[in-house]
Structure 1
Amino acid sequence: MSTSQRRSARVSGRVARDQAEAVIVDQYTRLVLLAYLTLPHTLSRHRRVLVAHALVQRSLPGFRIARADHRVPGQRRSAPVPALTRTRASVVHAALAHDRRPRGWPGFLPSPRALRPMLPVVWGLKLFPRAGGGEEIALGQALSEVSAPARAAFVLLQLEGLSRSEVTELLTAADVPEPEQALIAARGLEATAGGATETLLRSREFDACSVQTRPTDLLRRRRRFRLAWLTAGITALCCAVLATTVGLSPSDEPTRTIDVQPAIDAAQLVHTPRDSWADTSRVDFTAWPARGSRVGDTGLVTRALATWTKPPSGTRVSVAKATSDEPPPGNTQLLYAGEVDGEAVVLFHDGRRVVRYVEPPSPLDPASLDITRSDEADVTTAASLVVSRKAGKVRYLTAPWIAEAQTRDLLTPNSPGRPLDVSDEGVTDAVPELPGKGSCDSLPVLQLRSSSKIVEKHAFLVADLGGLTPVHLSYTPLPGTGAPPRQPREATSTAALLSWARTACRLPEMRHSGVRAVNQWDFAEQDLPERGGDAVWSCTRAFTWRGPGDILVQFRTSKESATAPAKLVGQARSTASCSRFGQHIVASTPWTAGSGQHYLLAAGSREVTGIDVTGEVKASGKDRSLAVKAPADPDVTVRARMKDGETLDEVGSRP
């Protein structure tokens, strides 16, 4: 009798294992995708591909790595456990635990789990998924910025179609301490992917089962093969010692190697004399001297040039819109080489572009390369560069002609700037980044002042919008103030700061769009009906390095708070409006008086002599502004009459 029971148990276990194997084979691609996206993004793409396959294959019951089986979600002890549910839990648990280091384990070494050999093993080839488009890259970047449990929850919700409760139970089974937090973060990722989430997740950017291959370094591999039989015994002994050692000294840490020949030698780089900025009429990046504690570190500079020439696999590369990623030319200039926030940073300029190379302290972590346009930079747009961006903080490298640096909040126009410490090398203390979309509690910017050696009492504002070059902020005042028409000036006056305080909350929407400068033009002022106070119409124009510009037309009233965000009434992309090549503008908006009466308001710039309205409302005026009773949201066409007899259509489209 007892023998029969034992035989029955063995048969039951074999059937469960057979079912698990069938599930793994049938759902292999989806399980590998789940593991690939959950694994830490600090791994190279090659390593993530191999580890993802290994974790799925080792999720078969019987492997020690599958430790989540005893806590499969939503199952009673008497009920059979679905093989797919068990396998998902095992894969998620293993992926989350892959980079979990024991207490005291050195930070520059992979976790013991990462060091454990797992099939499949690939020799002589690098494997990585094919590159996707802009949407896939944006989603990949967003995934890298959230936790591994959030990535797992996102895939389970969007691709596997599990309910929130099922995902919560599965994450709990995978030893996630706060699964609800992971679900909240996963929901936040949906905004990045939009309605095409499943399509993006199934794209080739994340398909670890359809990969490209490239050889590893062939010459190095050949040398290593010749020496392998001589060093095999010593290597085995060293590995045994490493496995029992608590940590390594910095001198034992592996060093970075150069796999390609740089396009130019470090000795060919241009070094501008330290004081030439004070004796030149061209005050831009060409006047920057080479600064930093590691300017003489030929190895670091050579690695930076080699990475720029041909980025190694795993390098994080960011190239701004309409910017060439071609190798460094012969006239490349060294701007900076030094240590910032524990990382080695090198900055180059080649007349058209600025390039930043960042090298983490551990060779096991990937380097990064950022390339952006900088042609036609001037005393303001070449006044600073972002040298480090970490944990919501930014450090800038200021130009040699900057005599004073301050920070100020655009939302508190009546508060003075606060002094900002700058090192002898020109690196500032860390300051907060601008908030993302939807958050507008504070808008920190830099207020810089040029040395009197090049211009007297010249202070100006710059803001970080996600690129290497901070954006120059300027202001054009209302007509009739005695200022020349359409003449932007620095946004440091009281009127400029008050205007920017009402419209600055739109700045975060311009992040990562290659903006060079933003001008705030108050083009019209209008008395509101029924003693509603007065209103100011503004056109905010973003000038890009590549030429085209986008505009936002905004409307603010005196009855509102001095920092209340202005109303967006029009917008247009790739337009010349609100620039010296588009000097005239007319705009309109619905408005409701305190009595509840609805009006249509319209206003134009200084050359406008009259405004005509057709459609659901018909009206005509002989002034630069117009106010007429109208339905709550009328369908109208607004045109302006100009001094020269021409007509002008309303700018852009309403949001």
Structure 2
Amino acid sequence: MDERTRADVERAEAAIVEHYPRLVRLTYLVLPPSMGRHRRVLTAHGLVQRALPRTRLRRPDGGLPAQRGPAPESGYDLVRQRALRLALAYEAQPGRVLPALPLVWGLRLFPRAGGADELALDQALSAVPAAVRAALGLGHLEGLDEDAARAVLARAGAEDPDAAQRAAAQLDRETEAGAAALLGSGEFDPCMVQTRPTDLLRRRQRVRAVAAVAAVLVIGAAVAAAWPGTADPSGRAGTAAQQALDPDRLLRTPNEQWADTSRVDFTAWPVRGRQAGDRKLLARALRVWAAPPPDTRITAAAGTSTRPPGHPPQLLYAGLIDNVMVVVLYDGERLVRYAEPEDATPTLHFARVDNADLTTGAALVIGRGNGWMRYLLAPWISEITTRDLLAPAAPPHGLHVAPDGVTDRIPIPPPAGAGCGRWPVAQLRPSTRIVAAAPDTAFLVADLDDLVPVHLTSGAPLSGGAPEGATGAPALRNWARTACSLGSLRGTGVRSVNTWEFARQQLPEDGGSAAWVCTRADTWRGPGSVTLRFLPPAARPADPGRTAGRAVNTAACSRFGPDVVGGIHWQAKSGKWYLLAAGSPEVGGLDATGGVRATADEGTLATPAEPAAPAEVVGRLRTGGSVRALHP
């Protein structure tokens, strides 16, 4: 029994009051994520409140004076040690009951959900022991050095503090977004919580008398047995909404249908995964989709509905991915990825995929982690390799694929603000059973934090379809200089991105040849955006050049509006400034007005101009129309 003098207890009580949020955050981090977020919040608060030691009985008058010893332990150190000891004990005894206080009826409490980085860190923390989580918290939340953290862990009862610190350091290195910043976010703050009601219907049902419910069931069964003809003559069991939640009604495509159909999209995907026959798992996934619990993490690409299923969806996958149970469903318009991690907090990810085809329906993201992801490949993909868009001359690397279509881990592009030293993409090759064997049948896809990767293409917009793939040497060189701009498209529901070199221009004063490139991003919901870039000669293959123009909700650089003009101020090696402009092939002349006046009877223009001189550039089309230059 840890009993202290009254002075010790008063110092401990003051420390709890003053540092309560800090103590609860640390305790919440150490508790097992498998408890679920609601129970973790209440337990963290309860353990910190129980960390107050008991008061030692007073010595009777006339006793010996107290012996001199070390300085008294600080109140904060004392309650932190006790709270850590209680939290570490929960992992060794998972059946321990919730502390009596605080007590919450009719509500569920959970911290504010973070982004993909916080979710990835939470999943990584669920896979390590409590002592490792404690070591990470002592270092980042408490600011202790290695020796001090090791001493705190030892006093709190950790079995091997050194091993815990080594594992925490390794986890910290693998967290690209930075564990310190993520642990300080709202995802790991049990004092800033959101509230939602518990299952209201279930709560109402529980207050009914058990005898009355049993009687109703017995009477109902008797009536059904006496009048069997009252069954639904159509043979339908319940409404369409009820049928949509029945795992036995899930649609399942035969394994080889993809090779014998003219519709090569997600409807042709067969069901895969070892848990495809787990009726309980499938039922949970459907129930969460139809009525998400309050603490469910829900992510939806821009323009994607999260409404419940209106009819039985198609099952694409059900299995265990990196210790997370995953179910993927398709309702003809959307993909829904249900994930059930060890902490029992479900996640739903929605993505719109209507009108998918051989390339945009070739893969989906089946799992994510710190700095990596995995694809589930379409059955018609015969080969997958990976390459770095910023290294166009480097050969692709082979990637292993499991028999169920799940790939090995693939590195993901760096997060925003972390630089752009690499940009991994996947190169897919379709089976010769549906596409003739040819070198140009391979295509590139890139992960932009959505459920479905983005198809990367290159070339002029075609009147009858999409541009070609981006695996040729010229296309890869252009993509090397524009790849880093893909980061701005993360999570926006982009279907495909095309880069088109619409003009070449010889620079003044023997400055070499520059390329004008239009990068167009098309979304699943329809609208597209474009970015014009001016790419002068560069010493590095991945030099990004300069942005010359932008536009949103535009048809520019598409088959519905292929004409485009760009302009920019450029400085020659002599120090002299010029206005440069260029148009797409159908632009037969250019006119500059405003602060700069010049004209050209061809698709490019170069004229001396001060860098601050405003200019409006208009292109004259060969068909007699005109097109204005896009502005940055």
Give the TM bin, normalised by the shorter chain. Answer: 0.7 to 0.9
Residue 390 of structure 2: aligned partner: 411
Equivalent position of 2:468 in the other structure: 489
| Alignment match of 2:455 (pick from 463, 468, 472) | 472
Matched, 1:426 2:418: no
What do residues 513-570 of structure 1 show as CA deviations (whole Å, max 9, x unaligned)?
Answer: 2211111111111111111110101111221222222322222123433333333333
Taking a change above 3 Å as real, the CA distance of residues 589 and 95 of structure 1, as seen in their structure-2 partners, is farther
Q: Of 564, 568, 575, which aligns to 1:589?
A: 568
Q: Secondary structure at the match of 1:46?
A: helix
Quick check: 1:584–1:605 contact (8 Å CA) kept in 2? yes
- Tell me if structure 2 keeps the 8 A contact 1:98–1:113: no
Q: How does 1:19-58 map to 2 (within 5 A)?
A: 21=13, 24=16, 43-58=35-50
Q: Which residue, out of 578, 600, 611, partners 2:557? A: 578
Q: Which residue of 1 aligns with 2:616?
A: 637
Alignment check: 8 A CA contact 2:30 2:88 kept: no
* Amino acid in structure 2 at the alignment position of 1:271: R
Q: In structure 2, what is the equivalent of residue 214 of structure 1?
A: 198
- Cα 1:396–1:31 change in 2 (3 A) is closer
Contact 2:30 2:87 survives alignment (8 Å): no
Deviations 1:397-420 (A, max 9, x none): 221222322223323323333333
Question: Which ranges in structure 2 are unaligned for 5 or more consecutive residues?
Answer: 57-68, 126-132, 154-160, 212-240
**Structure 1 residues 292 and 487: CA distance shift in structure 2, 3 A:** closer
1:460 to 424, 443, 452: 443
Which residue of the other structure, out of 352, 355, 367, is the alignment partner of 1:388?
367
For 2:428, the aligned partner's letter is: L
Shift of 1:616: 4.2
Q: Is the 8 A contact 2:16 2:79 kept in 1?
A: no
Which residue identity is paired with 2:525? R
For 1:246-325, what aligned pairs fall within 5 Å after superposition? 263-325=244-306
Q: Write the deviation string for residues 88-117 of structure 1: whole angstroms up to 9, x where unpaired.
A: x5666666666547xxxxxxx834499475
Paired residues for 1:487-566 under 5 Å: 488-566=467-545
Q: Could you tell me how far 1:604 is from its partner in structure 2? A: 1.8
CA distance 1:168–1:572, shift in 2 (3 Å) = farther
Could you tell me how far 1:335 is from its partner in structure 2?
1.2
Give 1:353's aligned amino acid: R
Whether the aligned pair in 1 keeps the contact of 2:111 and 2:193 (CA below 8 Å) is no
Code of the residue aligned with 2:391 in structure 1: it is T
Deviation readout 1:562-611 (Å, 9 max, x if unpaired):
33333333333343332233322222223222223232322222232333
| TM-score, normalised with respect to structure 2 | 0.74
Q: CA deviation at 1:470?
A: 1.3
Shift of 1:498: 1.8
1:254-305 C-alpha deviation (Å, 9 max, x unpaired):
xxxxxx9884211111112222222222111111122233322222222222
Q: Match for residue 348 of structure 1? A: 329
Q: Larger deviation: 575-584 or 12-21? A: 12-21
- Aligned amino acid, residue 49 of structure 1: V
1:85-96 correspondence runs (5 A): 86-87=75-76
Alpha-carbon deviation of 1:467? Answer: 1.8
Give the aligned partner of residue 237 of structure 1.
none
Q: Distance in 1 between matches of 2:269 and 2:547?
A: 40
Distance 1:539 1:63, change over 3 A: farther
Give, in whole Å, the separation in 1 of the partners of 2:304 and 2:91: 36
Partner of residue 449, structure 1: 429
Alignment of 1:170-189 (within 5 A): none
Identify the residue that residue 127 of structure 1 maps to in structure 2: 108
Instruction: Give 1:370's aligned residue.
Output: 349
Partner of 1:650: 629
Task: Name the SS for the 1:531 alignment partner.
Answer: coil
Contact 2:136 2:169 in 1 (8 A): no
Distance 1:148 1:595, change over 3 A: farther
Code of the aligned partner of 1:294: Q
Aligned residues of 1:153 and 1:183 also touching (Cα < 8 A): no
Shift of residue 392, structure 1, vs aligned partner: 2.7
Query: 1:70 matched to which residue of 2?
Result: none
Contact in 1 for aligned 2:429/2:443 (Cα 8 Å): yes
Code of the residue aligned with 2:433 in structure 1: it is K
Cα contact 1:153–1:182 (8 A) shared by 2: no
For residue 312 of structure 1, report the CA deviation from its aligned partner. 3.4
Please tell me the residue identity of whatever aligns with 1:567.
R
SS of residue in 2 equivalent to 1:110: helix
* 1:168 CA drift (Å): 11
On the 8 A contact 1:410/1:497 being kept in 2, the answer is yes
CA contact (8 A) 2:269 2:378 kept: yes
Check conservation: 1:90, 1:174, Cα contact below 8 A: no
CA contact (8 A) 1:153 1:186 kept: no
TM-score by length of 1: 0.72
Alignment size in residue pairs: 564
Tell me if the contact between 1:518 and 1:540 (Cα under 8 Å) persists in the aligned partners.
yes
How far 1:645 moved relative to its partner? 4.5
Amino acid at match of 2:298: V
Decide whether aligned partners of structure 1 residues 100 and 624 sit closer, same or farther in structure 2, where only a CA change above 3 A counts: farther
Q: Structure 1: which amino acid aligns with 2:280? A: G
Opposite residue 564 of structure 1, the aligned amino acid is D
Q: How does 1:55-94 map to 2 (within 5 A)?
A: 55-60=47-52, 62=54, 86-87=75-76
Partner SS, residue 405 of structure 2: coil
> Could you tell me whether the CA contact under 8 Å between 2:28 and 2:188 is conserved in 1?
no
Q: Residue 569 of structure 2 contacts residue 580 of structure 2 at CA under 8 Å; is this kept in 1?
A: yes
Measured after TM superposition, the shift of residue 54 of structure 1 is: 1.9
Q: State the shift of 1:620 in Å.
A: 3.1
- Post-superposition Cα deviations, 1:10-50, rounded to whole Å, max 9, x if no partner, equal 9x964664465467557767865776678676653312331
Give the match's secondary structure for 2:198: strand
Report if the CA contact (8 A) 1:308-1:369 is conserved.
yes
Give, in whole Å, the separation in 1 of the partners of 2:531 and 2:361.
25
Equivalent AA in structure 2 for residue 530 of structure 1: E
| Shift in Å, 1:57 | 2.2
Identity in percent: 41
Q: Does 1:329 align with 2:321?
A: no
Q: CA deviation at 1:488?
A: 1.2
Mark the CA change 1:94 to 1:401 in structure 2 (over 3 Å): closer, same or farther. Answer: farther
Q: Kindly indicate whether the alpha-carbon contact (under 8 Å) linking 2:448 and 2:454 is maintained by their aligned counterparts in 1.
A: yes
Letter aligned with residue 395 of structure 2? P
Give, in whole Å, the separation in 1 of the partners of 2:453 and 2:117. 25
Return the alpha-carbon distance in structure 1 between the equivalents of residues 273 and 171 of structure 2. 41
Moved more, 510-519 or 547-556: 547-556
Higher mean C-alpha deviation, range 34-43 or range 49-58: 34-43
Gaps of 5+ in 1: 1-9, 65-76, 102-108, 157-163, 227-259
> Could you give the per-residue CA deviations for residues 356-398 of structure 1, whole angstroms, max 9, x where no partner exists?
22334x5x54343222111111111011112222343322222
Instruction: Check conservation: 1:605, 1:624, Cα contact below 8 A.
Output: yes
Deviates more, 1:539-548 or 1:602-611: 602-611
